[in-house]
Amino acid sequence: MKIAVIGAGSWGTALALLLADVGHDVRLWVFEEQGSNEILEKKENVIYLPGFPFPNNLVPSHDMAACMDEAEIVLTVLPTQVYRHVLPNLVPYVKPGMVFLSASKGIENNTLKRVTEILHEFLDPAGVRQIGVVSGPSFAREVAKKYPTAVTVAFEDETMAKEIQHAFACEYFRLYRHTDLVGIEFCGALKNVIALASGMVEGLGYGLNTRAALINRGLVEIMRMGLVLGGDPTTFSGLAGMGDLVLTCTGGLSRNLTVGRELGKGRNIDEIISSMKMVAEGVKTAISVKQLVEKMGIEMPISEKVYEIIYEGLAPAQGVVELMTRSLKSEKEIF
C-alpha cells in the first residue's frame, strides 16, 4: 500500500520504519526542509531517532503534495497543539477514499477536542469518512529495534479496524482492535499527565509504594473522565489504558516521566522544556484537563495538582501532602 506518515518525530519515524519493513511504500513528511534534506543525505533521522537506517521504500520529504500523492492511508503523528496549523496545508491533497489514522496523544487546549475530532473538522468537508486512532504501550526506539509490541487500533467501523490490523501487523508488532475512539484517546492523553506526576514522585525521592498508589489512583481519574465522556469500560484495563499508563509512568524512555522527574528535583518547567528536542505532551494536556475539570465538575485531584505545580508554582512536595491529606473515601467511589 501507499502510506503517508505526517510528522517525523521519533514516533512518526518509528512507525514509518515499521510500515516500510512490512513492505509498504511509505512517504514521511518532515516539517522543516533542512531536516528533510538531512534525513535524505544521511538515510536516517539523526535528530529524533538516530541509528536506524531508512530502507529504499521509505522516502522523507518536506513536500506535502509529494507525500500525499496516491496515499491510501494517512497516518498523522504530530503534537496535538499543532494539528490546526498543519492540516490546512494537507487538506488540498485529500481524496475522499483516503483512510486517516492518528497516532497522537493529547487534547487540544481551549477547544478540548480529541485529535480525531480535529481531523473530522478539517476532513469531513473533503469527503473523508474513515478516521481512526492507534494507541498503546509503544516507545518509538523499542519499535524501531523490533522489540515485540502490542497496541490497539480503533475505528467506529470495526471492518476498517480489521483492515488496519492486517496492514500494520508483523512478527514484532501486533494490533488489537476496538471501536472506542473516545476512551482510547482520553487514555492516551491523560496518561501523560499522570506520568508527569510519576516522575515527580521519583524526583522527590519517594519509593515504589508511592508510585504504585499514584498509578492506580491515576487510572481511576482516567476512568472517571473517560466514562463520563462516553468511553467503553473495557478500554481502561486494555493496552491503550492500563498498558500505556504503566509504561509511561515507569519507563526510562518516557518524556513525560523525565519532565516530571526534573520538576520533582526543583527545576523550572521552562528550563526543562527548552533543554528537550522532543515534545512532552502532558505539559500542554495538563491545561486541557484543568479546563475539562472546570467545565464538567469532575474531581481529578492528581491531574489538578500537576497543573498547579507546572503553572501556578505549587511545590511538588506540598502537592503530595495535599493529596495525602484529602478527606478519606471509599475505594468504590469512582464518581
Q: Which of 113, 191, 290, 305 is catalytic?
A: 191
Sequence-distant (6+) residues with CB within 8 A of 198 are: 211, 214, 215, 218, 248, 249, 250, 257, 260
Helices (H), the chain: 10-22, 33-42, 64-68, 83-90, 115-123, 140-144, 158-168, 181-203, 208-228, 244-250, 255-264, 269-274, 281-296, 301-311, 316-324
DSSP letter (8 states) at residue 266:
T
CATH number (domain holding residue 108): 3.40.50.720
One domain, residues 171 and 198: no
User: Cβ(58)–Cβ(16) under 8 Å?
Assistant: yes
Domain span holding position 79: 2-179
Global pTM reads: 0.96
Does residue 83 form part of some domain? yes
Task: Tell me what pLDDT residue 279 has.
Answer: 81
Task: Tell me what pLDDT residue 199 has.
Answer: 97
Task: Tell me what pLDDT residue 55 has.
Answer: 97
Radius of gyration of the CA atoms of the chain, in A: 19
The rounded percent of the chain whose pLDDT value lies above 70 is 100
CATH number (domain holding residue 274): 1.10.1040.10
State the first-to-last Cα distance of the chain, in angstroms, to the nearest integer: 45
Number of domains in the chain: 2
2 belongs to the catalytic site: no
Last residue of a domain, one of 130, 152, 179: 179
Res 149 pLDDT > 80: yes
One domain, residues 167 and 305: no
Tens of pLDDT, residues 88-109: 999 999 998 999 999 999 999 9
The C-alpha cell at 14 is 518509528
* Mean of the per-residue pLDDT values of the chain: 96
pLDDT tier, 319 (very low <50, low <70, confident <90, very high otherwise): very high
Task: Tell me what pLDDT residue 276 has.
Answer: 86
DSSP letter (8 states) at residue 32:
S
Q: In what order do the strands lie in the sheet with 99-102?
A: 58-61, 25-29, 2-6, 73-76, 99-102, 131-135, 149-154, 173-178
Tens of pLDDT, residues 177-201: 999 999 999 999 999 999 999 999 9
Last residue of a domain, one of 147, 179, 211: 179
CA 251 – CA 259 distance, rounded (Å): 13
